Structure formats: C-alpha cells, structure tokens
Amino acid sequence: MNERQEIDFLIVGQGLAGTLLSHILLANSRKISILDELKTHTSSRVAAGLFHPVTGRRIVKSWMVDVLYDFASNFYAEQEKQFQTKFFFPKELLEVLSSTHEFNVWSERLGDPSISRYLAEQPPIGMYETKLKKFFKMISMKGSGWMDMAKYLELSFKHFSNLDIIESGKFDINFLEIENDRFKYKSYSAKSIIFCEGSDAVRNNLWKWIPFLPSKGEVITISAPTLPEKYILLKGLFLIPLGEQRFRVGSTYTWTYQNELPSEEGLENLKTKLQSIIDVPFDIIDHRSAVRPTTKDRRPIIGEHPKFKNMFIFNGLGTKGVLLGPYFANEFVQFLLNGKSLNPEVNIKRFRSFFPESSETF
C-alpha cells in the first residue's frame, strides 16, 4: 500500500465555508487537502450572494454587521487582487414600500444611529415610476451589495487545483480511521479533519444530531431590458442587477420538500411575486435551487466534535454567509492555531445537550 500523504487539515467540502477556511489556512502556511463532490446545486453555488445591513420586519441591524462588513470588504478586496478579477460588488439597495403602514414602521427606526449610518441619499424615484407597480416610498441603504459566489468558488477551485490540494469525491465515513491521534482517510493522514459540507451534514452520522432546520431556496435569473440596473431592489423578493439587463430574483423558503431540484411550484411562486412588483416585460433565463443548512438561531456552527478530538465543523453560514464567512473563518483559524476562544453564539457547544452520549458514529 502506498504511504499516506501527511497533512495538517483535511477539509471536507469546497462551498463558501470550506473555500474561505482553505484560503486562510494556506495564508498561515498550513498543509491542507480538500475533498469535494463538485456538485452544481449546493447552496453556496446557487446563492444570490446578497448582503445588506438591515433585516426583518422589525427593521433591525443585522447581527455584528459593522464588524462583519468591514472585515469581509477587506478580505474580498485582497482575494480580488490575488485573482485579478471582480466578484464582490457593493451596491446601494432600495427597499420598496407600498403603504403608509410600512413607511411608519420604517420611520420609527430612522432615528436609530445604528441604522441611520446606513441610510443613503434618496434615489431619483422617477426612474422607477413606470417600471414598478404602484409604490408609496423608497428607502435607500448603503452597506449593501452582492457577491458572484459561483465565480469566486470557481476561481478558488482552479487555484486549489493548481496547488494540487483538491480532490473530487464524496466523503465516505467507512474509509475514516483514527490511528495514533491522526485521521486516516484513503490516501491522507491528517492531524485534523474539518467538515464544511453544508446541507450534507444533515445526513452525516457524525453531525446529524445538530438541530439543523434545512430550507430549500429557489432563485431565477431574468432578462428585463427596460428595468433600471443602478440599484438592488427589495420588496418581499430581491432583484439584483447582474449587468447586461439580467437580474437575479429570489428567494423562496420551503421547509418541506421532496428533493433539492427546482420545482414548478417554486417557479410559479417567484413569477407571481415578481409580477406584483415590476411592471415591465421579462423573460426567465435560468431557474436554480438548493438546500440551506440553517439553524433556529441563524448563527454559524463552529467547533470540535463532542466525542472526537481534532474533528471539527464549520457550517451554517446561511443566507448571510457572504459577510459572516470571512470573519468567522478567520476566528476559527485563530482558534485552531492559537487557541483563541470562539464566540459563544457560534460555538457548537451551544448544541451539546442534543448529542446522544451513547452515540456510535463510526
């Protein structure tokens, strides 16, 4: 039998979580290998990549957004320099309000300094008067934008391939062994193994005890030649200008579903909502779906397995992963390499009571 390749970290999954973690570990001179199925319908590859600072019907500032936005902006800027291409696009967002009630709810929050810092100058509303269904007002927000996730993951995959550190394949627990405090998996011998599997973690015996709340999301891409492209629009759905009169539109949230594939129901849902927002002709040119590995508290899941030392998970970035990912990937690396404490709100220890003590995971 050939001698196994000795590495510091074996990373399972090259979605956003695995990709960010890999870049930061490489920057810290760690020897890594990545195992990924190269599926096209993962949540990272399908995600619209939207980010914005204010969220929810109560209009509250997103958790840690000030710190997360600054860190992510700097991190992605460095990555864009490395890859010599753009994939991170800050862009103002317009929240479209249709009633006095919606405006009154917003008005109650406009005086909050933590939110007012993200208010932008009001846009020339006239550009939308004949393009949208009747609306009352618009609120313009800074600190918003979108990321071309598919491009970023593809650029990263090529980089990892050039370094010869990524392998195509599905993780099979039957090949995993622990020997002399190292993880042996096929041709690898790793000091640590990190699972960044996204929704696949729900089916992995090592992690399925975590109370995931997976939801299926569907998005469409449309061509709408007469719709202005200067702003992201938000009104129940988001409409992200991609350039060349194309817009990414979404997203649905389905908690009960038969499979991860795009559905006619999801498509009709998106079309109906979109037709209630815009008043211009459009053509659907793409329809995609994926399952998000979310949890009830909407926080990332980071830390060590309660039974197996040096076995870790980095998961649950969810719909806010563009901003959450870089900061917490860096925090996780500082935890792994320097023993820095993890934020309790993302630490897997918050789910310790769900782990069955009699569990025989492999």
Give the pLDDT score at 1: 45
Cα dihedral across residues 272, 276, 282, 287: positive or negative? negative
Helix (H, G, I), strand (E, B) or coil at 151: helix
CA angle 327, 328, 333 (to 5 degrees): 105
Phi and psi at 318, nearest 5°, equal 65, -155
Q: What is the DSSP letter of 142?
A: S
Report the percentage of the chain scoring pLDDT > 70.
97
Give the pLDDT score at 195: 98
Work out the average pLDDT over 59-80: 94
**Could you give the CA distance from residue 149 to residue 56 in angstroms, rounded to a whole number?**
23
Does the structural domain 5-45+150-211+296-354 have CATH classification 3.50.50.60?
yes
Per-residue confidence band for 128, with pLDDT thresholds at 50, 70 and 90:
very high
Work out the average pLDDT over 255-263: 87
Work out the average pLDDT over 7-25: 97
* pLDDT per position as a tens digit, 196-234: 999 899 999 999 999 998 889 999 999 999 999 999 999
Say yes or no to pLDDT of 172 above 50.
yes
Q: What rounded mean pLDDT belongs to the chain?
A: 92
Per-residue confidence band for 279, with pLDDT thresholds at 50, 70 and 90:
very high
The two structure tokens encoding residue 231? 């702003």
Say yes or no to pLDDT of 353 above 90.
yes
Work out the average pLDDT over 150-169: 96
**Could you give the CA distance from residue 328 to residue 306 in angstroms, rounded to a whole number?**
20
Pick the CATH number of 93-142+215-292 from 3.90.1150.10, 3.40.50.720, 3.30.9.10, 3.30.465.10: 3.30.9.10
Give the pLDDT score at 362: 59
DSSP E strand stretches across the chain: 5-12, 32-36, 50-51, 54-55, 60-61, 88-90, 93-97, 137-141, 145-147, 166-168, 176-179, 182-185, 188-195, 215-223, 232-235, 237-243, 246-250, 283-292, 301-304, 311-315
143 alpha-carbon distance from chain centroid:
17
Work out the average pLDDT over 47-64: 84
Q: Give Cβ neighbours of residue 63 (< 8 Å, ≥ 6 apart).
A: 298, 299
- Whether the Cβ atoms of residue 101 and residue 171 lie closer than 8 Å to each other: no
Say yes or no to pLDDT of 39 above 80.
no
**Could you give the CA distance from residue 345 to residue 350 in angstroms, rounded to a whole number?**
8
Hey, where are the domains in the chain? 5-45+150-211+296-354, 93-142+215-292
Give the pLDDT score at 106: 83
Residue 16 parent element (H or E): helix 16-27
Say yes or no to pLDDT of 169 above 60.
yes
Taking Cα atoms as reference points, which of 10, 95, 9, 15 lies closest to residue 52?
95
Q: Give Cβ neighbours of residue 251 (< 8 Å, ≥ 6 apart).
A: 48, 217, 218, 219, 237, 238, 319
Per-residue confidence band for 361, with pLDDT thresholds at 50, 70 and 90:
low
Give the pLDDT score at 2: 60
Per-residue confidence band for 306, with pLDDT thresholds at 50, 70 and 90:
very high
Say yes or no to pLDDT of 101 above 50.
yes
